A and B are shown apart, each in its own frame.
Chain A
Amino acid sequence: MTRRIGIDVGGTNTDAAVIDAGAVVATAKTPTTEDVLTGISDALAAVPHHDVDTVVIGTTHFTNAVVQRQDLNRVGFVRLCLPSGRSLPPLVGWPTDLADAVRGRTAMITGGVEYDGRPFEQLDEAAVIEAARRFGDAGIDAVVVAGSFSPVDPTQEERAAELVCEHLPGARVTLSHRLGRLGLLERENAAGLNACLLDLADTTIDAFSSALDDAGLDEGTRLFLTQNDGTLLTVDEARRHPVLTFASGPTNSMRGAALLAGVEDGLVVDVGGTTADFGALVGGYPRQANAAVDVGEVRTLFQLPDLLSVGLGGGSRIRVELGGNVTIGPDSVGQRLLTEALCFGGSVPTLTDAAVKAGRLVIDGAVSPDALGVDPGAVLAVAAELVAEGADRLKLTAAEAPLVAVGGGAFAVPDRLPGISDVLRPPHADTANAVGAALAEVSGEVDRVFHELGREAAVAAALELAVQRAVAAGAVTETVRPIEVEDLPLAYLAGDARRVRVRVVGSLAHR
């Protein structure tokens, strides 16, 4: 019982990969189905699935629900911030249609913490109880609790959650400090997106479990999901925090690329039909974004990879400007590549056509794209520039770095690029996302402000806490190692205050 199956449910395809002792033994690509479940069953059926210890699923299902405003819960918000913050209530800045779909009741309550952990105000417990009753009367059971500086001291959020559960039986509470970083509104937004997905999380994960049962997997086979940082999410944790799966698609692809190419530190580009997605690897993991990231047009700040998307893909349209300049994209024929591109008998010049004409890409049965009307070498040179610039933007230093190229449009990446030491094209690159899911590890993260400790002691304290969290999530203690350590001295604040953010990962213990 050593095998792990990774399944990545994308918008178009559901990919599966079987891993044994760290090596890929089988892969499969099947169409994603409307009900998701069938697609997963099909993918499982397409690979050998005996002697399986663990199945790991990466899914964009929850992201899509937010983007499409479908199957969302109404949420009750408890904000602990008064007497500050009144003019910026929960859901401020959300797109109106999404706010309308998610808004249940909101309560702004006296409480919150200062940057050094002292209370801003004592928590008004009576007001929390009153809010819980009002939520109950309105039939709301998905609740967000968000308090100022809760990542520094979460006690008030935890106490408020206790009171909500006491006075609103069956309440499912999302605590902002469990998800987000400093920045109350962005953290509360992440918690709000999470809370609105709780019903969907239950039905989806139930469906995943039955897909595994239907496929005849051993009863003891463990099921995990993957989260935004490329590590494992237990099924229980996924039911509580579905928002942690939001970016698992690109993340799994980057993780898989890193593992398949054996690259720990470097860059990854996943070139699809419409876009090229760039990411950076640190210790084999996608580097995390440090700035606010918009998810479904909501500004959030939580665990998300640092990604750059450029309008360059196999289906990107080629144009020649008046002065003779060649441009690529950003528009693309997308999924209509097989009917609209010149080399498939269509009438639209695409990047794929230029590659075929230049002899860089050989496609069985393709016709010669004679109507390209431009030197294919010039097109590929422009593509190379776009790739070089995208890769460079993800770097943190000028030093050369390897670039792993995956995805169906990886032919757009030339073998030599400025600032790139090597271009790597690993095997199984077309199912890198499923491989990334199958090989996911367990993580622990800490992000908080430390005082008067000095840099070394503050980082050590943060690491210790992160290791505890990883082990609690199922990591083998001896394998846990830091993959991201960052500290920022805080300008303006007195008393050697520094914000420390660390992430650690370790291997999942066998069952």
Chain B
Amino acid sequence: MGRALTITDVDDLAVGAWIIGTGGGGSPHLNHLNVRQVMSGGRTFEMIDPTELEDDARVAVVSTMGAPLVMQERLQDSRDVARAVEIMADHIGAPFDAVMATEIGGSNAFQPLMAAAHLDIPVVDADAMGRAYPEAQMTSFAIAGLQPWPLSLVDPRGIEAVISHVPTWKWMERASRVLTVETGSMAATCKAPRTGAEVKRWSVANSMSLAIGLGATVRRARAEHADPVEAVADAAGGRRLFGGKVTDVERRTTGGFLRGMAVVEGLDGWSGQRLELDFQNEWLVARLDGQPIATVPHLICLLDAESGTAIGTETARYGQRASLLAIPAPDLFRSEAGLRYVGPRAMGYDLDPVDPLS
């Protein structure tokens, strides 16, 4: 039996998904409003554990691709996400039993709920990243070598496409990105459908409930005037690696990505030490006095030291009191196959991955 999501759950999801967005993934604000809006109209959501799926169940995998600024102007209609799922169902000639997120970090965490708002199916407590990553092919399904096709894509002006076949996940990213850019840098997509067996074997299980739990942890810590960063570290099985003040942020855009570096000067127990955080949409590498202390694929989260809310790569600025929290990535992403997709070298660093708990 699934769990019925409450308004408090979706409020917590907005906070938790932003934390495991690891600096990117886009602010969940608008999608959160979308889901609150349908819930105020009486709509309820059922979240099921992956283990509840039959092996031959058909699971839709959704995300919206594009630029955050366009999302802030177009205000995505939740029906468009559902429409991408419908088109995919038509393409494969069978309806879906459930829907799940590609990316639980940031705004895309809400996409399965937006689809489910118009389709009578449950949401799976899982995703394919366990965080946010800069590119669409950086998923557990790609690492597992699962079939990358087909993909459906929707622009609300009646532009609907199915990419029926590609040779690789990278080609799917490139082909779908071209369509997205051409339609104004925003499109709802339904990725290659997965079977229940595939989801159980290869997804990041329980990542939605983890995100909800982290949001709840922050909420409770604030209410009890406890340290929210420490509470989140405990709840996520991670560790606080640094605390200080943001003293410099340098940003540039290249190849459609926001890249750069943030500097945090240590306070309290870290006084006199200096943290450098490299980013490409998300935080990728953390160096303490020049030494890497955490890298992708592990989750590098920068949190406001007081409120426990996430600080994004777009919103970091001088003077913020920030804590660095690192959470180990799921095993699949740390495997040799995983590192080829999401390891430091996949992101252009001549570095071995650094486990923040080691």
Across the interface, do A492 and B319 meet the contact criterion of CB distance under 8 Å? no
Across the interface, do B74 and A86 meet the contact criterion of CB distance under 8 Å? no
Q: Is A454 interfacial (CB-CB < 8 Å)? A: no
Taking the closest CB of chain B, its distance from the CB of A511, in whole angstroms, is 42
Across the interface, do A87 and B185 meet the contact criterion of CB distance under 8 Å? no
Q: Mask for B255-298, Cβ within 8 A of A = 1, else 0?
A: 01110000001000000000000000100000000000000000
* CB contact list, A87-113 vs B, under 8 A: 87-88, 92-93, 112
Q: List 17 A-B contacts (CB under 8 A).
A: A87-B38, A88-B30, A88-B77, A92-B37, A115-B185, A184-B73, A185-B33, A291-B315, A393-B321, A395-B319, A396-B318, A491-B253, A491-B256, A492-B67, A492-B69, A492-B257, A494-B181
A395 to B318, CA, bound (A): 7
If A115-B67, A115-B185, A493-B67 touch, whether A85 touches B72 (CB-CB below 8 Å) is no
User: Which A residues are CB-close (under 8 A) to B247?
Assistant: 397-398
Number of A interface residues at 8 Å Cβ cutoff, please give it: 35
If A87-B37, A492-B256 touch, whether A184 touches B319 (CB-CB below 8 Å) is no
A62 to B125, CA, bound (A): 47
A84 to B37, CA, bound (A): 16
A311 to B72, CA, bound (A): 33
Across the interface, do B253 and A115 meet the contact criterion of CB distance under 8 Å? no
* CB contact list, B149-179 vs A, under 8 A: 156-158
Taking the closest CB of chain A, its distance from the CB of B285, in whole angstroms, is 19
Taking the closest CB of chain A, its distance from the CB of B200, in whole angstroms, is 32
Q: Which of B66, B77, B157, B248 contacts A492 (CB 8 A)?
A: B66
Q: Is B68 interfacial (CB-CB < 8 Å)? A: yes
Q: Is B239 interfacial (CB-CB < 8 Å)? A: no
Q: Mask for B187-199, Cβ within 8 A of A = 1, else 0?
A: 0000000000000
Q: Is A114 interfacial (CB-CB < 8 Å)? A: yes
* CB contact list, A452-511 vs B, under 8 A: 489-494, 499
- Chain A residues in the interface with B (C-beta under 8 A): 81, 83-88, 92-93, 112, 114-115, 120-121, 148-149, 182-185, 291, 392-398, 489-494, 499
Across the interface, do B30 and A185 meet the contact criterion of CB distance under 8 Å? yes
Which of B34, B184, B251 has the largest count of A CB atoms less than 10 A from its CB?
A: B184
If A291-B315, A492-B256, A494-B256 touch, whether A87 touches B34 (CB-CB below 8 Å) is yes
Which of B72, B79, B248, B314 has the largest count of A CB atoms less than 10 A from its CB?
A: B72
User: Which B residues are CB-close (under 8 A) to A493?
Assistant: 67, 69-70, 185, 256
User: Which B residues are CB-close (under 8 A) to A398?
Assistant: 247-248, 265, 318
A120 to B185, CA, bound (A): 12
User: Which A residues are CB-close (under 8 A) to B230?
Assistant: none
A87 to B320, CA, bound (A): 34
Given A83-B77, A185-B72, output 11 extra A-B contacts at Cβ < 8 Å. Answer: A93-B33, A120-B157, A182-B69, A183-B73, A185-B75, A393-B320, A394-B319, A490-B67, A491-B253, A493-B67, A494-B256
When C-beta atoms are compared, the residue in chain A nearest to B26 turns out to be A492
A114 to B155, CA, bound (A): 13
Taking the closest CB of chain B, its distance from the CB of A499, in whole angstroms, is 8
Give chain B's interface secondary structure class.
mixed
When C-beta atoms are compared, the residue in chain B nearest to A116 turns out to be B184
Number of B interface residues at 8 Å Cβ cutoff, please give it: 45
A392 to B319, CA, bound (A): 6
User: Which B residues are CB-close (under 8 A) to A183?
Assistant: 72-73
A492 to B206, CA, bound (A): 30
User: Which A residues are CB-close (under 8 A) to B37?
Assistant: 87-88, 92
Q: Is B76 interfacial (CB-CB < 8 Å)? A: yes
Q: Is B12 interfacial (CB-CB < 8 Å)? A: no
A339 to B143, CA, bound (A): 70
Across the interface, do B72 and A184 meet the contact criterion of CB distance under 8 Å? yes
Q: Is B317 interfacial (CB-CB < 8 Å)? A: yes
User: Which A residues are CB-close (under 8 A) to B181?
Assistant: 494
A397 to B252, CA, bound (A): 18
Across the interface, do A393 and B77 meet the contact criterion of CB distance under 8 Å? no
A184 to B75, CA, bound (A): 8
A121 to B184, CA, bound (A): 12
User: Which B residues are CB-close (under 8 A) to A86?
Assistant: 77, 79
If A182-B72, A184-B72, A396-B317 touch, whether A85 touches B185 (CB-CB below 8 Å) is no
Across the interface, do B73 and A149 meet the contact criterion of CB distance under 8 Å? yes
Across the interface, do B67 and A87 meet the contact criterion of CB distance under 8 Å? no
A224 to B350, CA, bound (A): 61
A87 to B247, CA, bound (A): 40
Q: Which of A84, A393, A499 contacts B156 (CB 8 A)?
A: A84
If A84-B74, A84-B75, A183-B72 touch, whether A491 touches B258 (CB-CB below 8 Å) is yes
User: Which B residues are CB-close (under 8 A) to A120?
Assistant: 74, 157, 184
Q: Is B78 interfacial (CB-CB < 8 Å)? A: yes
Across the interface, do B319 and A393 meet the contact criterion of CB distance under 8 Å? yes
If A87-B34, A115-B184, A395-B319 touch, whether A491 touches B157 (CB-CB below 8 Å) is no
When C-beta atoms are compared, the residue in chain B nearest to A82 turns out to be B156
